[in-house]
Structure 1
Amino acid sequence: MDTLHHPEEIIERIGGCGRFQVFLSVMSHLLKLPTVLSIYLMVFSIATPNWRCADAEDESSSMSIFNTVSYYSNFTIGNLTDEVSLDSDNGTKSYNNFKNCKNRNGTQCKNVVYDGDMKTIVSEWSMSCDLPWVPSTIASIQMLGIFFGNLVSGQLADSFGRKFPLFASLLLLIIANLVGYFSSSWLMFGVARALCGIGMGTYLTVQYSLVTEVSLPRWRPWIVAFPTWPILACGFALVSYLMPDWRKLHILATVATVPFLCLWWFVPESFRWHLSHDRTHIAKDIIQRIGKFNNRVVSDETVMELLNTTVIASPSGDKKKYSFIHLFKTGKLAKITCLSAVNWLALGLLSYGIQYGIQALSGNFFLNLFLFSIITVPATFIAIYLSNAIGRRKTVVLTYTVSTVGCLLVGIVQYIDTDLRDSLTNGFALFASLGIGIAWGPVQLMTLELYPTVVR
């Protein structure tokens, strides 16, 4: 009777963690650049620069009152803060209505003036008073696109392999960011962000399947959890600070994505996927290519013997096409799917909630964006160690606990009357972001390893 093998044994025979695995891991992390740029582009694009209502300034140009000495005072009516000043030279009184859409007489502000060089869709299409709901709506549309991309790419990855949807997502991001750059209205921009969401959702779903399926379990935490994402996000914070224009950033994202399409000719399909679809000879060729890359040449006879006795786990023991319904094919799979869904829901709500909430924090937008990214980098290495030392599940529980404590403290601080409220809010939000940033690696890794190849 033949001895049954598992795919890990084949990987060991062709080099384990060899040059090919290192090459593919580096490529998978570099491929994050287009998605990081596209996601944080949205965070920047819907940010609201400092602004004021200038209606009172226009009115004051025809007024001449209190022709006396200069004075300056602040007063607040509801949520309206005016700065009132009198010019002693011409006796002109002016009002600067900061971040308020109602004038002192209750009328709607007609002349919104944005300060500084920061150009976003809010300032370009003057959304602060007339269309305040549009930025958050477009962000929601993008999130729906990500959700749709998640669903569709799973079926695509089973039907056509991991490689096709991965590179299709890059092509879609190029098209979407170009459409975003040429947008002449917020409706057109919303369509562009929906397409971006589909591309990002597709990439995020299949990104690690390709690389982890040719890697050994002990190296997967390093492959999945290495903090490339926050490092690239720090880079975006710097680039957006130097070039604070949403259109130029869209062009940058487009140009930066194009070179990655060339990797199509260097990245092979997963041999596990070919095995699960009875394409043994194609799998053999890929394995030999990997072995040659790793200086581990294996004969045709040896490879075929290994493949013919290799077990690819299946929820029902058969060989056929798989679909979304197979996530619930058995009681065990249904349990894994339901619990993983809750896990990912919490991860997404916290992560994206914090990302899109950065603009609401006090202080400089670009500095906050940098801090919320850089804080994750050193802690991620701890998560990599813990994933191997205490397991994926315990690491996830620990990181979620950190995030929960941080979020609770942010909420509590809002009910405390103190001059340090803004600083404490930023600090505790950073603490929550630290936990959820670390959680991404173990959560992705645990999800990948819980499902068999044919369902993954």
Structure 2
Amino acid sequence: QIDPDMKTTSDYLEEVIEEIGGFGKFQVLLHGSILLSKVSITWSLLIMAFAGAAPDWWCVYPNTTASGAINYNTTVLPSSSPNVTVPEMTKSFQTCTPPSNESSVCQSFVFDDSMRTIINEWGLICDDKWVTATVSSVQMAGLLISGLLGGQLADVIGRKPTFYVSILILSVSNIVAGFSTSWIMFAVTRFIIGLGCGAYLTVFYTFSVEFTPTKFRPIQIAVPDWSIWAALLGFFSYILKDWKSLHILTGGLTGLSLFTWWIVPESFRWLVSHDKLAEADKVIKKIARMNNHPKPDLNKLRAVVDSDPSFQGSRQYTFLELIRDRSLLKTTALAGVGWFSCGYAYYAISYSVDQLSGDLYLNMFLLSVIDIPALMSIWYLSNRLGRRWTCLGYFMIGSAACLGVAVSQMIDVDSGLQKTLINGFALAAKFGVSASWAAIMAFTTEVYPTVVRNIGYGTQNSISRIGALIAPQLVLVNKVTPGVMYIICFVVTLTSAITCLLLKETKDKTISDNLEVRVAGNRK
């Protein structure tokens, strides 16, 4: 039996997890349910990599005549205009300025309709080319806001309701987005999708960690569910080739996750930290039953809680807690550097996929599957080397690869070798950044105590969205000035590697449920 003598509530609950089966059938079902729900967040966030990609396009001028610089073999336009012919598309015609023999502006824009994105849906090129990047930034603004609100909500009303409300928002808003009639309506729905994504991201990992034994904590990150769903997004983009169909499919698949409500209970750690011991008792017994283990004797739980000087019952914590306490403030600032750089670098690389050479769908697939070996290594390395050194190593890989892309793009030589180097370094950069983000995500959940874990985690998610909000704008700049976007990637990831070393190692440490006694005492 568990001996409560000289044990904190955190130590006691850690032993309870082991006593009711450790990582058993219940934990497998829990993590499986979250794996299924990942389609909502993965596709919702990455769908703009396809929806915002520019199909081949050219201008129709009223008086265009042949010149030696351009191949004028005529080509029938897409089926929307079957009786119109224009010169065969060349790079000369993928420009917003007319040829030298034309004084008029474009009579009309013509798009290759082999793929349907928001660009040919609403003609978002030339003077309107800023719209696509702005829509992506608007979405990230939604994530920034809900990262803070979602973290606070999850710590106040619970992990479970916050988790499932976010899934409901994502399901409905993705379907509505698929029926958008203007880019403004689409931008509004993307903002709402961002709100749902932010709430989801603040709670899904902390939710699962609080049911998981110490050595299995990084498993939610190590399983490459995000990468698998991202690769499938590339596959379905190739099959459907239509942004509307992708949004509706995303909403439908997301809705399926709502049925796991009857499988997943509220976090018993959250219940205990809010002095809801009777409800926590029911959850713990349910887990024991599902894991085929005897029900633990929890009669001493009240005595452990009452004797723990750091336990503060039903007290409500807010974001200000991270500022008032120096230790939490330092942790938030140091981890925030890494989260910012990951948010910027990950989405900058993902949203600039159409700037790589070769097939768009293949590049989307490769940028997704490269995450799989990165994420699968996290569990082993985090437990072997520790959280700090794992973060450091992957940030260094990402930093070096970003520098490689920047140098390759700035070399003014249009050759096959240059294109190969850019694509290769971009894949390596994505590998390093994805692994870094996974590592610091696992690290972050362990450095905050349960009573402020979702607030802290939500804050970090919001910090990452500042970087993600900036990323689409730099993707646009990179088209004009190649290399700029990746130079910034290099600087921020290198800085993050340094700040990781200043965080406290949490390998093999019991996660805390309440603030330290010192903090509680200072407030009396």
2:253 corresponds to 1:247:
no
| Larger RCO (CA under 8 A, 6+ residues apart) | 2
So what's the TM-score if we normalise by structure 1? 0.90
1:41 paired residue number: 47
1:315 positional shift: 7.5
- Indicate yes or no: 2:55 matched with 1:59: no
- 2:264 corresponds to 1:267: yes
Residues 60 and 86, structure 2, Cα contact 8 Å, conserved in 1: no
Q: What residue number does 1:276 align with?
A: 273
Match of 1:9 in 2: 15
What's the counterpart of residue 399 of structure 1?
394
1:93–1:436 Cα change, 3 Å: closer
Tell me which amino acid in the other structure corresponds to 1:83.
N
- Residues in 2 aligned to 1:355 and 1:311: alpha-carbon distance in whole angstroms: 50
Correspondence 1:182-261 to 2 at 5 A: 182-261=179-258
Q: Does 1:324 align with 2:312?
A: no
Which one of the candidate residues 408, 419, 423 is aligned to 1:422? Answer: 419
Residues 48, 136 of structure 2: 8 Å contact kept:
yes
Count of equivalent residues: 432
Identity of aligned residues (%): 38
Is the Cα–Cα contact under 8 Å of residues 401 and 426 in structure 2 kept in the other structure?
Answer: yes
Find the aligned partners of 1:277 and 1:252 in 2 and give their Cα distance: 39
The letter of the residue matching 1:205 is T
1:113 alignment counterpart: 110
Whole-angstrom distance in 2 between the partners of 1:272 and 1:314: 17
The CA distance in 2 between the partners of 1:312 and 1:208, in whole Å, is 29
Could you say if the C-alpha distance between residues 423 and 331 of structure 1 is closer, same or farther in structure 2, counting changes exceeding 3 Å?
same
Deviation at 1:236, TM superposition (A): 0.9
1:452: which partner in 2? 449
Distance in structure 1 (CA, Å) of the matches to 2:377 and 2:436 = 11
| Pairs within 5 Å for 1:374-389 | 374-389=369-384
Q: Contact 1:145/1:198 (CA < 8 Å) preserved in 2?
A: yes
**Larger CA deviation: 417-426 vs 236-245:** 417-426
Q: Counterpart amino acid of 1:101?
A: C
Deviation, structure 1 residue 102: 1.3
Aligned counterparts of 2:128 and 2:432: Cα–Cα separation in 1: 34
Maintained 8 Å contact 1:16/1:216: yes
Q: Which amino acid aligns with 1:183?
A: S
Contact 1:53 1:111 in 2 (8 A): yes
Alpha-carbon separation, structure 1, partners of 2:74 and 2:292:
81
| Cα displacement (A) at 1:59 | 2.7
Mapped to 2, the partners of 1:106 and 1:428 lie a distance apart of 42
Q: Following the alignment from structure 1 to structure 2, what is the Cα–Cα distance between the partners of residues 218 and 310?
A: 24
**Distance in 2 between the 1:312 and 1:16 partners?**
25
Partner of 1:164: 161
Contact 2:394 2:432 in 1 (8 A): yes
> Residue 316 of structure 1: CA displacement?
8.5
- Which stretches of structure 1, 4 residues or more, deviate above 6 A after TM superposition? 311-316
Are 1:149 and 2:155 counterparts?
Answer: no
Greater shift, 145-154 or 39-48, is seen at 39-48
Is the 1:231–1:373 Cα contact (8 Å) retained in structure 2?
Answer: yes
Which amino acid letter does the alignment assign opposite residue 51 of structure 1? Answer: W
How far apart are the structure 1 equivalents of 2:134 and 2:332? 29
Q: How many Å separate the matches in 2 of 1:314 and 1:340?
A: 28
Give the distance between the partners of 1:311 and 1:30, measured in 2 at CA. Answer: 39
Contact 1:314–1:453 under 8 Å retained in 2: no
- Once residues 151 and 311 of structure 1 are traced to their aligned partners in structure 2, the CA distance between those partners, rounded to angstroms, is 31
Q: TM-score, normalised by structure 2?
A: 0.78
Q: Quick one: which of 338, 352, 356 aligns to 1:361?
A: 356
Which residue of the other structure, out of 272, 282, 286, is the alignment partner of 2:283? 286
2:21, 2:106 → 1: CA distance?
A: 68
1:77 aligned partner: none
- What amino acid does structure 1 have at the position aligned with 2:160? K
CA distance in 1, matches of 2:234, 2:144: 26
Give the match for residue 68 of structure 1: none
- 1:377-413 Cα deviation digits (max 9, x unpaired): 1232222211110011111111110110011111111
1:357-387 deviation per Cα after TM superposition (whole angstroms, max 9, x unaligned): 1122222111110011111212322222111
Task: Trace 1:286-305 onto structure 2 (pairs within 5 A).
Answer: 286-298=283-295, 302-305=297-300
**Partner SS for 2:450:** coil
Distance 1:308-1:314 versus aligned 2 partners, 3 A rule: closer
Q: Give secondary structure in 1 for the equivalent of 2:394.
A: helix
1:96-134 deviation digits (Å, cap 9, x = unpaired): 542101112354323111114110010011111241110
The question of whether the paired residues in 2 share the 8 Å contact of 1:277 and 1:319 is answered with: yes
1:345 aligns with 2:340: yes
Q: For the residues of structure 1 that align with 2:323 and 2:314, how far apart are their CA atoms?
A: 17
| Bigger Rg over Cα | 1
Partner of 1:78: none
1:93 & 1:258 partners in 2: Cα distance? Answer: 45
Quick check: 2:74–2:88 contact (8 Å CA) kept in 1?
no
Determine helix, strand or coil for the equivalent of 1:112: strand
Q: What is the SS of the residue equivalent to 1:303?
A: coil
Code of the residue aligned with 1:342 in structure 2: it is: V
Q: Secondary structure at the match of 2:107?
A: coil
Q: CA deviation at 1:313?
A: 8.8
Letter in 2 for 1:43: A
Structure 1 residues 86 and 119, CA gap change in structure 2 (3 angstroms): closer
Q: Is there any run of 5+ residues in structure 1 with no aligned partner, and where?
A: 66-71, 75-81
* Cα distance in structure 2, aligned partners of 1:205 and 1:367: 31
CA distance in 2, matches of 1:4, 1:233: 43
